[in-house]
Amino acid sequence: MQTTTSAPAGRSMASRIRSIFSGSVGNLVEWYDWYVYSAFALYFAPSFFPEGNQTAQLLNSAAIFAVGFLMRPLGGWLMGLYADRAGRKAALLASVLLMCGGSLLIAVTPTYRQIGVAAPVLLVLARLLQGLSVGGEYGTSATYLSEMADQRNRGFFSSFQYVTLIAGQLLALLVQIGLQQLLTPAELQAWGWRVPFAIGAGAALVALYLRRTMEETDAFTRQTAAEATMPQSAQPSKLTVLLRYPREVLTVVGLTLGGTVVFYTFTTYTQKFLVNTAGFSKDQATLVSFGALGVAMLLQPLLGALSDRVGRRPVLLFFGIGATMGTVPLMTWLGQAGSPGVAFGLLVVALVIVSGYTSINAVVKAELFPTEIRALGVGLPYALTVAIFGGSAEYVALLAKSKGVESWFYWYVTACAAISLVVYLRMADTRDTSRMNNEEQ
């Protein structure tokens, strides 16, 4: 359904930047809270799963990490519907509030020795809340940043979703590095791991306050005004409208599949891989991951701006070809890296490749759908794909290692990247076919 109402006056660049900043700060906090779990799993796993060796404990904590992903489709659906009905701002406020609750629950949950099986049960509940939050955050945030950007710089501005996503991960690692310097390993394992979750809960409240200053997008405002002139009986449900775009939904699934598996392999899982396979200390693995992610964060706006000049498809093809050809050798060499410097260099190469996906995947998805179902169209199929493939990546990797066939995981990642490469080869360049191009900003 296309709107025909007149558009409000265009926003100034300063107004766009202020709104994008307000939205991005909340996104940073959300992803910090999400990644703190993975960053500190090495320390809190024994508190919730006291039996077994390190791989078994990490396998259990990775299973709960995957459980959190199962809530992401529900979050993508509920928050997507809410964002397309009540507004992008309202949905972003709700998602950060849910994340606050999940982080606070982890921070105060007693250990297995104190309350028995109730401890991992509460951990699961907290991850379910966080999964619901992140599931809604992605689609709404991608939609908000893309709608707030002007047409010429949409790739550049929307890339800040992954700038703040990676910044959240870096912040989680920075907190970890700081605590590793201040506390002994025994203190970190006993109680220090609770500190980052408490920080996350407090930061989420700050983000909630900042997001109250965000402006609603013009695209949603126009759509709401148009729908207000129509009788309720003439308005189909959002899900019904979404089903009119099966090709776009499948495109989101296809372009996400390889990207999410490769991304989680070289970000959240790599830190454990460097300890568990390459033999580095926890401190060394944290520093290597931190440095490489810092480089990746700086790459996002550069590749986003490049996509505004050359198109989205060439940047996606760079990722698809690089990940398909490079995953097996990069993972093999990382597992044999003899020094932190070598591991850092290899991980930077991997994340340069990954950035071909992360820098523009949000805007590509947003450009596929009309305003009335954009948040739902981006969020739901993305969350379903991430729940199935991204959330299980770490578990699959650790399971393969526990069975003595770790290299099988490298080929699994390669196969996922190859599937997405086929999608990139067949899809149109959304920079030129974007449904946003006819919407005045």
Local confidence band at 441 (pLDDT 50, 70, 90 cut-offs): very low
Q: What is the pLDDT of residue 57?
A: 59
- Burial label for 32, CB within 10 Å (0-12, 13-18, 19+), is buried
Q: Is 1.50.10.100 the CATH number for 22-225+241-430?
A: no
Local confidence band at 7 (pLDDT 50, 70, 90 cut-offs): very low
Whether the predicted pLDDT of 2 surpasses 60: no
Report angle CA 40, 349, 262 to the nearest 5 degrees. Answer: 55
For the chain, helix, strand, coil in percent to 5 are 85, 0, 15
Give CA–CA dist 295/298, Å, rounded: 5
Q: What is the pLDDT of residue 344?
A: 96
Whether the predicted pLDDT of 124 surpasses 90: no
Average pLDDT over residues 6-29: 68
Average pLDDT over residues 362-390: 89
Selected residue with higher pLDDT from 92 and 68: 92
Q: What percentage of the chain has pLDDT greater than the value 90? A: 31
Average pLDDT over residues 149-163: 87
Q: Which segment, 144-153, 194-203, 314-323, is predicted with the most confidence on average? A: 314-323
* Two tokens, residue 96: 């950060």
Give CA–CA dist 142/326, Å, rounded: 28
Give CA–CA dist 359/11, Å, rounded: 24
Q: What is the pLDDT of residue 363?
A: 92
Give CA–CA dist 133/235, Å, rounded: 28
Whether the predicted pLDDT of 147 surpasses 60: yes
Q: Where are the domains of the chain?
A: 22-225+241-430
Q: What is the pLDDT of residue 224?
A: 80
For residues 127 and 67, the answer to whether their CB atoms sit within 8 Å is: yes
Selected residue with higher pLDDT from 211 and 352: 352
Average pLDDT over residues 302-315: 95
Model pTM score? 0.82
Give CA–CA dist 413/410, Å, rounded: 5
Q: What is the pLDDT of residue 71?
A: 82
Average pLDDT over residues 236-254: 88
